[in-house]
Copies of this chain bind each other. A is one copy, B any other.
Amino acid sequence: MTRTLDLAVIPGDGIGPEVIAEALTVLRAAVGDSVEVHETRYPLGAGHYLATGEILDDATLDALRQHDAILLGAVGGDPRDPKLAGGIIERGLLLKLRFAFDHHVNLRPTRLYPGVTSPLSSPGDIDFVVVREGTEGPYVGNGGAIRVGTPHEVANETSVNTAYGVERVVRFAFAEAEKRRRRVTLVHKTNVLVHAGSLWQRTVDRVAAENPDVTVDYLHVDATMIFLVTDPARFDVIVTDNLFGDIVTDLAGAVGGGIGIAASGNLDPSGAHPSMFEPVHGSAPDIAGQQKADPTAAILSAALLLRQSGLDEAAARIERAVEHDLAGRGNAARTTGEIGASIAEFVASST
């Protein structure tokens, strides 16, 4: 009996459709005949919103919920468009999906592949993964303001952290570490954010006691910045909150050779909701439709999708093909389609 994989595909805005096209070609090549892949496309994003007034209605959310996994390109329009101000698409679509589908683990691996140039002069052997909490912290929308627009305005933002929410993501990080080099670094700001910091630190201490073979350390988020550019090879698994994770992973992507190759998975590891896979990069409207975007981040996100779906061999095939492609890349300019085709070809030849 052939296995099926029922995908929701959200190509999105800007370069999203271009990179997603390549990711799907490579994904299909990787699974070959062993998996029947169904694709349902959802035309969501800034363009769709400007055309229809809809960002993400309940019916669409219910439809998305039925799929095995979601593959997303990038969403977001021209940042100077006043109709898109205040992150209306990011919050109404991307964050809404993460919260609705309980994507509490935002998994973001960084690896400096051979052949890839880091902006660091001595990057060392960069290979770590950030486990970013995805459903709490300052992302909960728990802020407000009074006297807006007056000299007496007060605008507050609240970071919410729960024992339930922190523990499950810390446990996930330790499980990842067990599969890797067995080293977990908690990143926070416990000397200032004392209540949230204490909850994170106590949770890590407790889970660490259950995993004595894992080495655990702690870094303030500011000190983490320094180590990420002076000794990124020291990291194996970083576990951190939603906002610190956002900041750390963009820097991680940059030192690991650029967000053109940085993949991510928004996971509900319980399987109760579909997980969602997306490149870390945005929609880059300035180069959209020109075949200039690097589809590698989207392709590696498809590999994460396959691994999360239990298709480890197909995922590994993609990762090997990307590794091969990056190693031989040099400085030759290739189109989005050429990069995708070359990776797909190597995947097919290794099946």
Contacts of A194 in B (CB 8 A): 86-87, 91, 143
CA A196 – CA B228 in complex, angstroms? Answer: 28
Interface membership of chain A positions 71-89, coded 1 if the CB is closer than 8 angstroms to chain B and 0 otherwise: 0000000000000001100
Q: How far is the CB of A271 from chain B (nearest CB, A)?
A: 22
For A137, give the chain B residue with the smallest CB separation: B157
Option from B144, B223, B254 in Cβ contact (under 8 Å) with A230: B254
**Residues of A in contact with B, size category:** 35 or more
B251 touches A225 (CB 8 A): yes
A30 at the interface (CB under 8 A from B): no
Contact of A144 with B195 at beta-carbon distance under 8 Å, contacts A119-B120, A243-B189, A247-B221 already known: yes
B192 touches A139 (CB 8 A): yes
> 8 Å CB contacts to B: which residues of A87-133?
87, 90-91, 95, 118-122
CA A226 – CA B243 in complex, angstroms? Answer: 16
Option from B122, B143, B192, B229 in Cβ contact (under 8 Å) with A196: B143
Interface membership of chain A positions 258-282, coded 1 if the CB is closer than 8 angstroms to chain B and 0 otherwise: 0100000000000000000000000
B119 touches A229 (CB 8 A): yes
A91 touches B255 (CB 8 A): no
A157 touches B159 (CB 8 A): yes
Contacts of A223 in B (CB 8 A): 250
Pick out which of these stretches binds chain B: A53-61, A146-154, A287-295, A339-347.
Answer: A146-154
A338 at the interface (CB under 8 A from B): no
Pick out which of these stretches binds chain B: A1-9, A37-45, A160-168, A316-324.
Answer: A160-168
A337 at the interface (CB under 8 A from B): no
Option from B119, B154, B197, B199 in Cβ contact (under 8 Å) with A160: B154
Q: How far is the CB of A249 from chain B (nearest CB, A)?
A: 8
Contacts of A249 in B (CB 8 A): 222
A138 at the interface (CB under 8 A from B): yes
Contacts of A11 in B (CB 8 A): none
Contacts of A147 in B (CB 8 A): 163
Contact of A163 with B156 at beta-carbon distance under 8 Å, contacts A120-B119, A193-B143 already known: no
CA A255 – CA B230 in complex, angstroms? Answer: 9
A87-B192, A120-B229 known; 10 other A-B pairs, CB under 8 Å?
A86-B191, A121-B121, A143-B196, A147-B163, A150-B163, A153-B199, A157-B159, A157-B161, A189-B243, A226-B254
Interface residues of A (CB under 8 A from B): 86-87, 90-91, 95, 118-122, 138-139, 143-145, 147-164, 167, 189-199, 202, 221-223, 225-226, 228-230, 243, 246-247, 249-251, 253-255, 259
Q: List 18 A-B pairs, Cβ < 8 Å.
A: A86-B191, A87-B190, A90-B192, A120-B121, A143-B194, A143-B195, A145-B199, A147-B163, A151-B167, A152-B162, A153-B162, A155-B196, A159-B159, A192-B246, A225-B247, A225-B254, A226-B254, A229-B251
**Which 3 pairs across A and B sit closest by C-beta, in order of nearness?**
A87-B191, A225-B251, A121-B121
